[in-house]
Amino acid sequence: MSRLAGKTALVTGSSRGIGRATAERLARDGALVAVHYNADADAAGKVVAGIAEAGGKAFAVKAELGVPGDVDTLFEALEAGLKEHGASGLDILVNNAGVMGGVAPEEVTPEIFDRLVAVNAKAPFFIVQRVLGILQDGGRIINISSGLTRFANPQEVAYAMTKGAVEQLTLHFAKHLSGRGITVNSVAPGITNNGTPVFDIPEVVEQMAALSAFNRVGETRDVADVVAFLASDDARWITGGFLDASGGTLLGG
């Protein structure tokens, strides 16, 4: 496939999970992909190597998000990588990087809350703000939200709040950037096998699968394919949208 031939993309948090699958899919479609990672250089290197082995093009960029100077660090590495590959602008931004809480509401501390907001909401806002200087007209911004903005899990209330903020980021920037032909959309995954140990426990996977209308947990490619659609010209008439990619989680019996 080559529908993204000549395009450039940045996928944050793409050394593993949904981000990795997205980076691989966009590269397979022909884009030059910047594979962002926080700390695991080996994992990011494997993603880049795998893309190259499959005939695609990619490079890694390191930046810890949610700390002072994070966006400057990210874009210095991004712009250097683009220049090295003969590109100057960006066509596709996928805000995927995020952290979860995983504690009861009573146990959320100000420090936990602030960390979730910094990584999941503040960083995407300022990444979008910064990218506007190099994002091509007609570009794509795709923000990864969560099905938890539509169904409840009290242990992730603070996380869900930050993803609600991401959806507002999508809505308002979609209006703001419409004059440049830039589309901005949200994708909301549900329970997705991201390789964490819980997905190695059959009885737990069975319980999680039962929440989906398809009676299975999501795979990272299920979400990556939705992102790839939004990144393509086929989605040129969709902006400010919310795409549920949860496999029909909690639709009812």
Catalytic residues: 159
- Bridging pattern class, strands 218-219 and 32-37: unpaired
Choose among 58, 47, 77: nearest CA to 8: 58
| Residue 109 phi, psi (nearest 5) | -95, 165
Cβ(187)–Cβ(226) below 8 Å:
yes
Q: By C-alpha distance, which of 59, 58, 60, 53 is closest to 27?
A: 58
SS3 state of residue 83 = helix
Q: Looking at the chain, how many residues does it have?
A: 253
